[in-house]
Chain A
Amino acid sequence: GENVEQHPSTLSVQEGDSAVIKCTYSDSASNYFPWYKQELGKRPQLIIDIRSNVGEKKDQRIAVTLNKTAKHFSLHITETQPEDSAVYFCAASMRGSSGSARQLTFGSGTQLTVLP
Chain B
Amino acid sequence: DVKVTQSSRYLVKRTGEKVFLECVQDMDHENMFWYRQDPGLGLRLIYFSYDVKMKEKGDIPEGYSVSREKKERFSLILESASTNQTSMYLCASSKGTGAPYEQYFGPGTRLTVT
The answer to whether B101 and A93 have CB atoms under 8 Å apart is yes
Q: Which residues of B contact A45 (CB under 8 A)?
A: 105
Q: A9-B40, A99-B51 are in contact. Are A104 and B103 (CB under 8 A)?
A: yes
The 8 A CB mask of B95-112 against A (1 = contact, 0 = none) is: 010000111011110000
Q: 8 Å CB contacts to A: which residues of B69-114?
A: 90, 94, 96, 101-103, 105-108
The answer to whether B48 and A101 have CB atoms under 8 Å apart is yes
The answer to whether B101 and A108 have CB atoms under 8 Å apart is no
* Interface presence of A96 (CB below 8 A): yes
Q: A1-B59, A99-B50, A101-B30 are in contact. Are A32 and B101 (CB under 8 A)?
A: yes
CA distance A96 to B23 in the complex (A): 22
CA distance A107 to B58 in the complex (A): 15
* Interface presence of A25 (CB below 8 A): no
> 8 A-B Cβ contacts within 8 A?
A34-B101, A34-B102, A43-B106, A49-B101, A96-B50, A101-B96, A103-B45, A104-B103
- A interface residues with partner B (beta carbon < 8 Å): 1, 6, 9, 32, 34, 42-46, 49, 89, 93, 96, 99-109
